[in-house]
Chain A
Amino acid sequence: SQQGEEDPQALSIQEGENATMNCSYKTSINNLQWYRQNSGRGLVHLILIRSNEREKHSGRLRVTLDTSKKSSSLLITASRAADTASYFCATDVGNKLVFGAGTILRVKS
C-alpha cells in the first residue's frame, strides 16, 4: 500500500512560475526522496532529504521536511515546459521504497 498522499493531484502553471507539491507519509522514516517520471517512463531521482534535515536545495529544486507533521514539500522555481512530468515522493521503509500517489505537473509555454 502507498505510504503517502500527495497534493495536488494535478497542477497546471505557466512557464516561469513556481510549482509546489506536497507529500504526507504515515510511518517514521530514514529519508524521503522525490522522483520525476516523464510520460510513463522510468523514474529519475531528484533529491533526497534525511530525517534530520529540514530543508535541502538542488538547482531549481527546494525540498522541505517536517517530521513532526510527517510531510514534505517540493518547490520547483522558474518552471520550464521541460518540467512537465509526474512527481512522486518516496519513503524508505524496511529497505524498500514506498511511493506516494504523485502529482501531475503541466507547465504551459
Chain B
Amino acid sequence: SAVISQKPSRDICQRGTSLTIQCQVDSQVTMMFWYRQQPGQSLTLIATANQGSEATYESGFVIDKFPISRPNLTFSTLTVSNMSPEDSSIYLCSVMGGGGNTEAFFGQGTRLTVV
C-alpha cells in the first residue's frame, strides 16, 4: 500500500492567479497520476508524471495550463495556472501499487474554488 499526503486540502483563489498542489508519497513510485473531478462528475486523468522526464498529458490538457513537476520518486506538484471559475474542481493525485498491482491509492484531494 501507499500513503499519500496532498496539500492544500482546499483553497479559494482569485481568477487569473495560479495554485500549486503538492503530493508526497511514503514510498518510491515510478508514475504518479493527476486527476480532475469537476463538481458532480467522475475523475478525468490530467497527466502522468514520470520522474526524470516530462509529464504525459491527456487529450484536452496542456502543459501551459497544468505544469507538473516530478523532482524525485516520492514527490510531485501540479500547478493550475491562470485560473478561471471553470477550474473549480477537486484535484487528486494517485499512485498504483507496485509489482504489477494496478490498485490505485489516492491523496485526500484538493478542493479548489475559483472566484
A binds B: yes
| Chain A residues at the B interface, C-beta cutoff of 8 Å | 1-2, 30-31, 33, 35, 40-45, 48, 88, 90, 92, 95-102
B110, chain A: closest CB distance, angstroms:
10
| Chain B residues at the A interface, C-beta cutoff of 8 Å | 4, 6, 31, 33, 37, 41-45, 48, 59, 90, 92, 94, 96, 102-109, 111
A-B contact pairs, 14 of them (CB 8 A): A30-B102, A31-B102, A33-B104, A43-B104, A43-B106, A45-B103, A88-B42, A90-B104, A95-B31, A95-B96, A96-B45, A97-B94, A99-B44, A102-B42
The answer to whether A40 and B111 touch (CB under 8 A), given A98-B45, A99-B43, is yes
The SS class assigned to the A binding surface is strand
Closest to B105 in A: A45
